[in-house]
Copies of this chain bind each other. A is one copy, B any other.
Amino acid sequence: MSNQGLIYVVSAPSGTGKTTLLKRVMGYFPEIRFSISYTTRPPRPGERDGKDYHFISPQRFQQMVEKGAFTEWAEVLGNRYGTSMDSIRESRSQGVDMILDIDSQGAIQIKGQFKAGIFIFIMPPSLEALKQRLKARGVDGQKVIQFRVAHARDEMKQAKWYDYIIVNERVEEAAEQLKSIIIAERCRRSRVLKGIGLRKL
């Protein structure tokens, strides 16, 4: 009776500091696999294909949708993002825990398919703080920032069905919380008892 890998699904409005947070926490858990999404969005400076995303053409994305290759996919600001079904199934069966970084549209599709998923929502301390961070990032123009803030307000309503909520006010504290959720979920009774089944007590 070995354990299947856990699936940690992390969602956050753009500009909440999720990427920084995830990088920090992944450093603690070298054994956790990070799910690399497919996207039709062009790479930003510094982003690498096969590491940050699988960057693919809209045509190829559409083919994958039609083949049912995605466990979830969504469109944001005209770009499509998707998670490969095979990669999740592989991690699960190998007993490898996996982190998925996807928005609430995608997360709810995962929830429907994998009951054992653990859903974590990262919130900005306020919408005003979010706006400031997006400006400071300097990636988006004013119009896109306005869109992202409005989208964030909608996203935040989705927090109500997640298992955990982290308010990212100070990154050290938020990282500690994310790390703690990962460790705590591994201590859940059902998981530990399955593991112990292998040993003699």
- A-to-B contact residues, CB < 8 Å: 121, 123, 126-127, 156, 159-167, 176-177, 179-185, 187-189, 192-193, 196, 199-201
Contact = CB atoms under 8 A, between A and B. Distances in A.
B201 A187 contact: no
A48 B177 CA distance: 35
Task: Say whether chain A's binding surface is mostly helix, strand, loop, or mixed.
Answer: helix
Contact of A201 (B121, B126, B166, B188): B126
Contacts of A126: 199-201
Contacts of A162: 189
A83 to B, nearest CB: 22
Nearest to A124: B201
